[in-house]
Amino acid sequence: MSKQKFYDPWPSDITYERPDRILVIKFTTGEEFSLPAEYLRVESPSAEVVGHNGKKNIVYGRKYVGITSIEEVGNYAIRLIFDDLHDTGIYTWETLYELGQKYNENWRRYISELSNRGLSREP
Q: What domain range includes position 85?
A: 11-117
Number of domains in the chain: 1
Residue 113 zone, left/alpha/beta (φ > 0; ψ -120 to 50; rest): alpha
Q: Does the pLDDT at position 4 exceed 70?
A: no
CA distance 90 to 47: 10
For residue 81, the domain's CATH number is 3.30.2020.30
Q: Is residue 73 part of a domain?
A: yes
Q: pTM for the full model?
A: 0.91
pLDDT (tens digit per residue) in 76-118: 999 999 999 999 989 999 999 999 999 999 999 999 999 999 9
Q: Does residue 80 contact residue 91 with C-beta atoms inside 8 Å? A: yes
Angle value at C-alpha 76, between 21 and 49, nearest 5 degrees:
55
CA dihedral 108, 101, 84, 12 (to 10 degrees): -160
Q: Is residue 80 part of a domain?
A: yes
Return the pLDDT at 50.
84
